């Protein structure tokens, strides 16, 4: 059974794949922030929306999928998979920690993953992923 947090994250991931900045921004509080292991923090719902629109344009048709979800109260942790086909087919995997406000909007994401331009397919070494 999906929870409010899980539903929010699934809808946010679908919005990321749409390339629509406003659709992405709608999932965030105005003062939201995304922390990431690969770039500086992205702050504010509108800025986050624009950021994801540019990511979508760069990876042409990429899609994000929640593989595992664990949530309690106003926090959640997930493992995810991104599948893209530009510049070639590749799969990236990572993990994130979320916080939500009283309305269920995302206020914070801490993203843990590795981006390597020379080896786009990344994830846990030796783990038997299903996809």
The tens digit of pLDDT for each residue in 87-119 reads 778 888 999 999 999 999 999 999 998 877 677
Indicate if the pLDDT at residue 86 is higher than 80.
Answer: no
Q: What is the pTM of this model?
A: 0.88
Residue 1 in tokens: 């059974």
pLDDT mean over 7-12: 96
Q: What's the confidence (pLDDT) of residue 89?
A: 81
The tens digit of pLDDT for each residue in 32-66 reads 999 998 899 999 999 999 998 888 777 777 889 99
Predicted confidence band at 2 (pLDDT cuts at 50, 70, 90)?
low
Q: Which residue has the higher pLDDT, 65 or 121?
A: 65
> 10 Å Cβ neighbour count for 71?
18
> In Å, how far from its chain's centre is CA 67?
12
Q: 16 and 8 in contact (C-beta within 8 Å)? A: no
Q: What's the confidence (pLDDT) of residue 59?
A: 76
What DSSP assignment string belongs to 7-73?
Answer: HHHHHHHHHHHHT-HHHHHTTEEEEEEEEESSS--EESHHHHHHHHHHHHHHTSS-EEEEEEEEEET
Which domains, from first to last, does the chain contain?
4-113 (3.10.450.50)
């Amino acid at each position: 059974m999906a929870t409010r947090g899980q539903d929010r994250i699934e809808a946010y991931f679908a919005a990321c794949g749409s390339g629509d900045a406003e659709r992405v921004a709608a999932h965030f509080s105005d003062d939201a922030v995304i922390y990431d292991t690969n770039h500086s923090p992205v702050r504010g719902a509108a800025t986050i929306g624009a950021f994801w629109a540019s990511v979508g344009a760069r990876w042409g048709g990429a899609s994000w999928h929640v593989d595992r979800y664990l949530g309690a109260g106003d926090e959640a942790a997930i493992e995810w998979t991104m599948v893209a086909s530009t510049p070639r087919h590749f799969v990236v995997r990572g993990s994130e920690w979320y916080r939500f406000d009283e309305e269920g909007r995302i206020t914070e994401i801490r993203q843990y993953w590795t981006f390597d331009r020379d080896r786009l397919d990344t994830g846990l070494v030796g783990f038997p992923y299903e996809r």
